Amino acid sequence: MPNAFLLSRALLKFQSKSDDLLEELSAVARTPDGHLWLGSDEFITLERLTPMGDGVFGDHQTVHLKDFIELFDHDSEIDIEGLDYADGYLWVVGSHSLKRDKPEGDKPQKDIERLADIDRDPNRSLLARLPVLNGEIVPTYARDDGDEARTLTAASLRKVEGHNVLMEALADDEHLGPVLSINLPSKDNGLDIEGIAVSGDRIFLGLRGPVLRGWAIILEIEVEETDPGTLTLKELDDGKPYRKHFLDLNGQGIRELCLHDGDLLVLAGPTMDLEGAMQMFRFEDALDHSNDTIWSQESGKLHVLFDLPFTIGSDHAEGLTLMPCLNYENGLMVVYDSPARDRRASKKSVFADIFRLPDD
């Protein structure tokens, strides 16, 4: 497969004193005004960067999600894994995953005990939309699209007993229900949402895990606002509140999604806590399906676009957004978790890559 063609790099300049922010970038979205919005594994905030010219993004602003939507609490991490912009809204999704404690290497017996501890951060079960107006997130505003006026409001998926209605619906699913029933953490091939793409009312959620006998899963849902600030799942044409699309990604899980001309660009990489190469796929005509589907690469609808550069222990591609670059309207920006040392321009800045999206 062809290697990725690097068009350019963008310098992301932050003001945060926390090294964790630059080390754990996990999501990015570009809004039509040119701003970049970024999320991190360990935070309950979003970060906004403004284009400064010459490929530099700065004037860092932090947005506290609790100011716009109701969180389960103000302490547990959201584990933001996906961002997308559509129709005036910035959408954000948490991993919805459980986590197993890490050994710390101090006392063997204590490390063995840590491996038995499974934690649930309620805020990880977050799916929310945030109105964006003139580069700012606002609680609500009236928008005139020409044909009709509508009011955009911040809202999140209905909460239910420490998670949300999506998790309630998946509990009885024939594929995902058994995984949820045994409380399997994300790094053990448990449920782990790591990508989002939105088109109108349709929301695609990419799963890093579970990967079932080498097949990755995209969930498709639609939501509607039933009460102020609260979204619920709509019943789809087949009577279910979600669809499943199974993809042959060479045994990899999904790390991010991005819509392009009706197709889904799929960033695929190792599931669980494995190290390995990552690839960019195109899933053609993703908006044309009204039932569950399964796609092999032999179908002609799913194929590899390019391989991403790979370094063991660093540069884990996590965030994805379309980014015009040079003479290419559809450059593809990628941000990285655990950036390599040469990607860190300074203590408060890091380079993102912009790849050429092949004509396909």
Distance CA 95, CA 112 (A): 25
> How many CB atoms lie under 10 A from the CB of residue 195?
30
All domains in the chain, ordered by first residue: 6-356 (2.115.10)
Using CA atoms in the order 197, 203, 206, 212, what is the torsion angle rounded to 10 degrees? -150
pLDDT of the residue at 23? 92
8 A C-beta contact, residue 268 and residue 193: no
8 A C-beta contact, residue 210 and residue 189: yes
Q: Strand 25-30 vs strand 36-40: parallel, antiparallel, or unpaired?
A: antiparallel
C-alpha closest to that of 35 among 134, 110, 122, 112: 134
pLDDT of the residue at 42? 82
> Splitting the chain (360 residues) into consecutive groups of 10 residues, what average pLDDT does each group show?
87 86 94 96 93 96 96 92 97 97 91 94 96 96 80 96 95 97 96 97 96 98 95 91 98 97 97 92 96 96 94 93 90 95 93 89
Neighbour-count burial for 64-94, b at 16+ CB within 10 Å, e otherwise: ebeebbebbeeeebbbbbbbbbbebbbbbbb
Place of tokens 């449920």: 191
pTM for this prediction: 0.96
Using CA atoms in the order 17, 350, 138, 157, what is the torsion angle rounded to 10 degrees? -100
pLDDT of the residue at 309? 86
